[in-house]
Amino acid sequence: MQTLTIGIETVLHHAVTEEDTACHMGSGSLRVLSTPTVIAWMEGASCTLLAPYLSEDVTTVGTKVDVDHIRATPVGGKVTVKAELTALEDRKYTFRVTAEDQRGIIAQGTHERFAVKTERFLAKTYQQQEAGEAHA
């Protein structure tokens, strides 16, 4: 496992498809990159950045997103997404996230993730669901 340091970053590239649009996602009526998609891409970049630093029995879960989606990108547009680790506190990771197309920044903000033991997290989640269904 590599050593995790503040300031490391990763960059991912995407092409906007019909499936990425607001009208397809149900978050609007236009054929432009949807806010849910750009946020998912930002979370994906954050996950990609952390992956080499986590043991096999650990993953991260997103817990907070604060993003301004400031400009539309049409179908066929190319988007570059960057995640930079800005803070690390115990199991909490904080990222500065940006997305840009050929004209510049289209979205920017912060994202937080927490490291969890995969099996323990899933067991607890399903146990809570079953308990809730028993009370319904």
Taking the domains of the chain in order of start, what are their residue ranges?
A: 9-135
What are 27-44's pLDDT values in tens digits?
999 999 999 999 999 999
pTM (2 d.p.) = 0.91
Checking if the pLDDT of 115 tops 70, the result is: yes
Percent of the chain clearing pLDDT 90 (strictly above): 85
- The whole-angstrom separation of Cα 121 and Cα 103 is 41
pLDDT at residue 51, as a whole number: 94
* Active site positions, annotated: 35, 43, 69
Which CATH homologous superfamily contains domain 9-135? Answer: Hotdog Thioesterase (3.10.129.10)
pLDDT bucket at 136, cuts 50 / 70 / 90: low
